[in-house]
Amino acid sequence: MIDVSVDLGFLKLHNPVIAASGTFGYGLEFSQALDLNRLGGFVVKGLYFSPRQGNPPPRLAETSCGLINSIGLPGIGVKQFSHEILPKLTGLQTAVIINICGENREEYASVADYLDKHEEISAYELNISCPNVKKGGICPAQNPEDTYETVKLVKNSCSTPVITKLSPNVTDISEIALSAQEGGSDALSLVNTFLAMDIDAVTRKPKLGNIMGGLSGPAIKPIALRMVYQAVRAVKIPVIGMGGIQTGRDAVEYLIAGARAVQVGTANFISPDATLQIIDEINAFCEDNHIKKVEDLIRTLDIDS
Amino acid sequence: MLSMLKNHTGKITRKEIWGDDYFLLSLEAPDISRESQPGQFVMVRTSTDPYPLLRRPFSIHGRNGSHIDIFFQKTGIGTSLLSQKQKGDPLEILGPLGNGFLLEDGTESKKVSLIGGGRGIAPLYFLAQELNKNQSKVRIFYGGRSSKDIPLLSKFKKENIETLCSTEDGSTGFQGLVTELFEQEMNSEPPSLICACGPDGMLKKVSQISEKNHIPAELSLESIMGCGFGACWGCVKKIKKENIKQWQKICEEGPVFWAHEIVWDE
């Protein structure tokens, strides 16, 4: 029997696989496809304080081994969420992580404050890295000071552990990772999507209604993996890695790079039970390679020999 | 667990090539066949490699015992790969998904006009089969750019489904748009319900005809889809219900909507 549990310090997961925000609804939608309790955890769709409509279509463009989206964080708002959804997430034997969003720092803090002290919430994921809500794909995670101030204000507004989700659209990921740590973040998750676009050569129109969007899927995996490797070396807090994970072996690569857990996003669209397949594949990998504990894989990249 | 979010592996049991670039695949999928309604769709993996990445949505074209048929046009990388599959090949399928045409109340013994544009004809064959079962009088209006875009004409004629066709170049049938043909013909035998599937421009025109003539219309919308089951929020259309306009997911709330609910100009 392989021990697949991982410890983030503030949170123990019974396996390292977490379903990523924006690809897993509010969790309940997937309860038809899989037993949510088998997951290490899941992150619900981003929540602003008020309900939001999202961006005009087309919202999706498929590219080579990737998907560009400009969804724009539509959602029900924090009040409806806490009345209608949160009660249904109680009693789950898995980590329930709430992805919180804001037009400004104060909105992030008010969402964090509103949902604070709910036992069923394991952690917040602070979404300061969505490329689809401000003009030009700008987000707080592109600026060290903005990152620091946002994390600090949210930390002062709640007692729930905070995971800060970083953007890959930066020159130096280590600098931003350090800013989030200095602001008091309990962990980091990275990366969010890469700012991208696609054009129809015949009509000369952008393929997305919002012109630019965020690229995800296997196309981004090598770059995301590199950024996770860099972030792990910059900070002391745990890092959750994501970007293009489709298989157990992909997940293991992130663990070796130093991630203590992983998130699976786009793969959920292709197979609703992709997360479970990945957990099974991690188990099989450990068995084949005589690894007794998944934690023994973490940060074991061999660069000396 | 509902079967719709379970991955089914269905073997291709029949392949038909219609004209230059239209294909019909019959898939063995007993659970999907049993539950499916006209207007519903399936998400098919065209490759098990990461390219193309996403499944492709196909409306259910027909049902035959434990089999379902899909009918598609080769337009891109996904449909091109699918067109190369052979009898005996397995396909990964999710479904049936979405909400189909409403058959339960009010369609019995009614006159129903089905309007299909190009590959939008696909779900209307299944619908015609089911409407025939409840004694409705069905007329199909089938249009395309030229005769090669209306390959199923012979299939409908062979099965004695009354079919009127149009081509924009006049190579077969009425010369012009299928909506123009419908407007010309509808007065001879006014339908009590219209069901349509095709490009947005055609469906918008059907909405206008429906409103002007006070004939309810059910429209099946096409969209690029990320997942097909409501998780990605990628396939939205502006829908008006009780005077509130909002983006709704075509895969989950549709793909069939009442014409008067769809907001076209925004």
What would the pLDDT profile of A242-300 be if each residue is shown by its tens digit? 999 999 999 999 999 999 999 999 999 999 999 999 999 999 999 999 999 999 999 99
B263 at A interface, C-beta within 8 A: no
List chain B residues with CB under 8 Å of A56. Answer: 247
List chain B residues with CB under 8 Å of A62. Answer: 52-54, 224
Cβ atoms of B217 and B45 closer than 8 Å: no
**Residue ranges making up the domain that contains B26:** 3-97
B118 lies in the same domain as B93 = no
Residue B141 lies in a domain: yes
Residue B249 lies in a domain: no
B91 lies in the same domain as B143 = no
pLDDT of residue B5: 86
Cβ atoms of A212 and A137 closer than 8 Å: yes
B121 lies in the same domain as B67 = no
Q: Above pLDDT 90, what percent of chain A?
A: 95
The H or E element that residue A254 is part of is helix A248-257
CA distance A23 to chain B (A): 6
State the CB neighbour count (10 A cutoff) for residue B138. 23
Q: Is the pLDDT of residue B14 over 90?
A: yes
Structure token pair of residue A258: 């130093």
List chain A residues with CB under 8 Å of B2. Answer: 32
pTM of the prediction?
0.95
pLDDT of residue B128: 95
End-to-end CA distance of chain B: 39
Q: Phi/psi of residue B128, each to 5°?
A: -60, -40
Cβ atoms of A298 and A255 closer than 8 Å: yes
Of B4, B54, B230, the CB nearest to A62: B54
Of B51, B227, B236, the CB nearest to A64: B51
pLDDT of residue A144: 97
List chain A residues with CB under 8 Å of B233. Answer: 54, 59, 71, 74
CB contact under 8 A, B231 and A217: no
B145 lies in the same domain as B195 = yes
In the predicted model, what is the mean pLDDT of residues A48-61?
95
Q: What is the CATH number of the domain that holds B88?
A: 2.40.30.10
Of A23, A33, A61, the CB nearest to B232: A23
Q: Is the pLDDT of residue A98 over 70?
A: yes
Of A54, A65, A273, the CB nearest to B233: A54
CB contact under 8 A, A30 and B236: no
Which residue among A101, A130, A139, A158 is the active-site one?
A130
Residue B245 lies in a domain: no
Half-sphere exposure for A148 (CA within 13 Å, toward CB): 8
- pLDDT, mean over chain B: 94
Best probe of the A interface among B1, B2, B5, by most A CBs < 10 A, is B5
B17 at A interface, C-beta within 8 A: no
Quickly state the pLDDT bin for B105 (edges 50, 70, 90): low
pLDDT of residue B106: 60
Q: Is the pLDDT of residue A203 over 80?
A: yes
List chain B residues with CB under 8 Å of A54. Answer: 233, 236, 247
CB contact under 8 A, A269 and B54: yes
Q: Is the pLDDT of residue B162 over 90?
A: yes
B122 lies in the same domain as B52 = no
Q: What letter does residue B227 receive in the DSSP assignment? A: S
Best probe of the B interface among A38, A59, A250, by most B CBs < 10 A, is A59
B124 lies in the same domain as B88 = no
Integer Cα distance of B8 and A271 in angstroms: 11
B124 lies in the same domain as B218 = yes
B214 lies in the same domain as B130 = yes
pLDDT of residue B1: 37
Closest-CA residue of chain A to B93:
A271
pLDDT digits (tens, 9 = 90+) for B24-52: 999 999 999 999 999 999 999 999 899 99
Integer Cα distance of A135 and A213 in angstroms: 11
B225 at A interface, C-beta within 8 A: yes
CB contact under 8 A, A25 and B230: yes
C-alpha distances (whole Å) from B9 to each of A24, B88, B251, B259 are: 23, 12, 21, 35
CA distance B200 to chain A (A): 13
The amino acid occupying position A13 is: L
Structural domains of chain B, count: 2
B91 lies in the same domain as B128 = no
Cβ atoms of B249 and B230 closer than 8 Å: yes
Integer Cα distance of A147 and A181 in angstroms: 10
In the predicted model, what is the mean pLDDT of residues B90-114?
86
Structure token pair of residue B228: 């097909």
Of A30, A60, A65, the CB nearest to B50: A65
B134 lies in the same domain as B198 = yes
CB contact under 8 A, B246 and A58: no
Lowest mean per-residue pLDDT among A37-46, A159-168, A200-209, B133-142? B133-142
- Kind of pairing, strands B8-18 and B90-97? antiparallel
Residue B12 lies in a domain: yes
Residue B236 lies in a domain: no
User: Residues of B numbered 88-117 whose beta carbons fall under 8 angstroms of chain A's beta carbons: which are they?
Assistant: 94
CB contact under 8 A, A32 and B45: no
Q: In what order do the strands lie in the sheet with B217-220?
A: B174-175, B162-167, B137-144, B111-117, B193-197, B217-220, B256-258
Helix and strand counts by DSSP (H, E) for chain B: 7, 16
B143 lies in the same domain as B211 = yes
List chain B residues with CB under 8 Å of A61. Answer: 224
In the predicted model, what is the mean pLDDT of residues A154-181?
98
Residue B254 lies in a domain: no
- pLDDT, mean over chain A: 96
CB contact under 8 A, B247 and A217: no
The amino acid occupying position A295 is: E
Q: Is the pLDDT of residue A62 over 90?
A: yes
Instruction: From B70, B97, B124, give the residue that closes a domain.
Output: B97
Of B54, B231, B236, the CB nearest to A24: B231
CA distance B52 to chain A (A): 6
CB contact under 8 A, A74 and B247: yes
What residues in chain A have their Cβ under 8 A from chain B's Cβ atoms? 22-25, 29-30, 32-33, 53-54, 56-62, 64-67, 69, 71, 74, 217-218, 246, 266, 268-273
Quickly state the pLDDT bin for A184 (edges 50, 70, 90): very high
Residue B140 lies in a domain: yes
B43 lies in the same domain as B77 = yes
Q: What is the CATH number of the domain that holds B159?
A: 3.40.50.80
- Please state the length of chain A: 305
Q: Is the pLDDT of residue B266 over 80?
A: no
User: Residues of B numbered 141-160 whose beta carbons fall under 8 angstroms of chain A's beta carbons: which are they?
Assistant: none
Does A286 qualify as catalytic in the annotation? Answer: no
Transcribe B66-102 into DSSP letters.
TEEEEEEE--SHHHHHHHT--TT-EEEEEEEESB---
Quickly state the pLDDT bin for B103 (edges 50, 70, 90): confident
All structural domains of chain A, each given as residue ranges with its CATH number in brackets, are 6-297 (3.20.20.70)
B3 at A interface, C-beta within 8 A: no
Integer Cα distance of A79 and B157 in angstroms: 57
CB contact under 8 A, B230 and A29: yes
C-alpha distances (whole Å) from B87 to each of A143, B25, B61, B122 are: 56, 9, 18, 20
Of B5, B45, B247, the CB nearest to A272: B5
Residue B248 lies in a domain: no
Q: Phi/psi of residue A246, each to 5°?
A: -120, -20
